[in-house]
A and B are shown apart, each in its own frame.
Chain A
């Protein structure tokens, strides 16, 4: 896969992640119940839990900012600067997603499908970002 194809794939993933995080941010501020496939209200339980905000800022909004920052770096910054920046953002996002998944499993006792989807997208972004960073085409 060429460097350009890697960047394109990451951009698609970042936009997909931004869509998920954007939906959860909207749900948070609108005070409505998120759509949860299969019902059960697990998404609502996670979204209204005490872990849904970090320093008063909705975690979903932080995710949205992170995805948009990745998309911005991929499209606006030169490749030499974008590679490490995107790797940092994606690794931080993946680590934080892993922690949030731990909280869902062991503290909140509910799994939000949207959060899992976002964690998978962020994980894939991290894999591609590290792959791209370590490729040397000199």
Chain B
């Protein structure tokens, strides 16, 4: 027989146990809600970041900074070409046994895609070891902004700085033919090119030499039958140019086709 006080104690113990179970249950619900909130918020953050990243990296609809490349971009481009000889339109050792000629338009988004995704690999694996030199022939078929861009690039080429100029231009492309290639825009891009005398380049872009360079690129494109950009040709020694037929602009496919052309 239990006493009255023992029965009360037993009842209290049961009540406390129930209260503990209820507290645990309530806490578990609260934690699950917190986890749900964390998952939902994290998903939103990831989706927004992915959209910004893919939009920022995409070839269309990107926001140009208005010709003000970041210091990091300038350093990256400087590092990409550091120590490689540049002369006019040509990047690489002049004695390299083969030449990769690229016909491009600075407004062309696919040319920018190639420059960002493939060119670093080509420079590292082919140009730096002296296997290949690159020749950049800038056309201006997209419109007036292309003409202004090509003239400034030609002037940068007169200071042997065409390649970093083009690379930085691609990273800051604006809406095609929106009139974004202003003097201010070109000055901004030029200022980010290490070693370029921007004022001299701005003066020389309308010089007869710059005009000849732009016209020569257009003639070379006509002669080669170029219909779109970017178009690539590989020339070995004194042999005829061989076109690279590309389906996609990825380092893997490009180097495979390049290797085949160099064999």
Is the beta-carbon distance between B72 and A58 smaller than 8 angstroms? yes
Give the complex CA separation of A98 and B8 in angstroms.
58
Is the beta-carbon distance between A95 and B42 smaller than 8 angstroms? yes
Is the beta-carbon distance between A133 and B27 smaller than 8 angstroms? no
Give the complex CA separation of A130 and B72 in angstroms.
37
Is the beta-carbon distance between B56 and A53 smaller than 8 angstroms? yes
Beyond A95-B43, A110-B251, A138-B24, is A49–B76 a contact (Cβ under 8 Å)? no
Give the complex CA separation of A136 and B117 in angstroms.
49
What number of A residues sit within 8 Å (CB to CB) of B? 39
Is the beta-carbon distance between A136 and B24 smaller than 8 angstroms? yes
Q: In the complex, which residues of chain A have a beta carbon less than 8 angstroms from the beta carbon of B206? A: none
Q: In the complex, which residues of chain B have a beta carbon less than 8 angstroms from the beta carbon of A83? A: 31, 34
Is the beta-carbon distance between A54 and B56 smaller than 8 angstroms? yes
- A38 CB to nearest B CB, Å: 15
Indicate whether B75 reaches chain A with its CB closer than 8 angstroms: yes
Return the contact of B35 from the options A30, A56, A58, A87 (Cβ within 8 A): A87
Q: In the complex, which residues of chain B have a beta carbon less than 8 angstroms from the beta carbon of A107? A: 117
Return the contact of A50 from the options B49, B52, B117 (Cβ within 8 A): B117
Secondary structure type dominating chain B contacts: helix
Is the beta-carbon distance between A88 and B76 smaller than 8 angstroms? no
Give the complex CA separation of A37 and B75 in angstroms.
24
Indicate whether B244 reaches chain A with its CB closer than 8 angstroms: no
Give the complex CA separation of A96 and B41 in angstroms.
13
Indicate whether A108 reaches chain B with its CB closer than 8 angstroms: yes
- A103 CB to nearest B CB, Å: 8
Is the beta-carbon distance between B79 and A133 smaller than 8 angstroms? no
Give the complex CA separation of A138 and B141 in angstroms.
73
Is the beta-carbon distance between B31 and A92 smaller than 8 angstroms? no
Is the beta-carbon distance between A53 and B38 smaller than 8 angstroms? no
Beyond A45-B120, A110-B251, is A53–B72 a contact (Cβ under 8 Å)? yes
Is the beta-carbon distance between B117 and A48 smaller than 8 angstroms? no
- A2 CB to nearest B CB, Å: 17
Q: In the complex, which residues of chain B have a beta carbon less than 8 angstroms from the beta carbon of A96? A: 45-46, 49-50
Indicate whether B78 reaches chain A with its CB closer than 8 angstroms: yes
Indicate whether A35 reaches chain B with its CB closer than 8 angstroms: no
Q: In the complex, which residues of chain A have a beta carbon less than 8 angstroms from the beta carbon of B79? A: 31-33
Return the contact of A92 from the options B28, B46, B72, B78 (Cβ within 8 A): B46
Q: In the complex, which residues of chain A have a beta carbon less than 8 angstroms from the beta carbon of B41? A: 88, 92
Chain B 117-146 interface residues, beta-carbon cutoff 8 Å to A: 117, 120-121, 124-125
Q: In the complex, which residues of chain A have a beta carbon less than 8 angstroms from the beta carbon of B251? A: 45, 109-110
Q: In the complex, which residues of chain A have a beta carbon less than 8 angstroms from the beta carbon of B250? A: 109
Give the complex CA separation of A83 and B5 in angstroms.
43
Beyond A84-B34, A110-B251, A133-B35, is A49–B70 a contact (Cβ under 8 Å)? no
A and B contact pairs by CB, cutoff 8 A, 12 listed: A30-B75, A48-B120, A84-B37, A84-B38, A87-B34, A88-B38, A92-B42, A96-B45, A96-B50, A133-B38, A136-B24, A136-B31
Shortest Cβ-Cβ A-B pairs, 3 listed: A95-B46, A31-B75, A91-B42
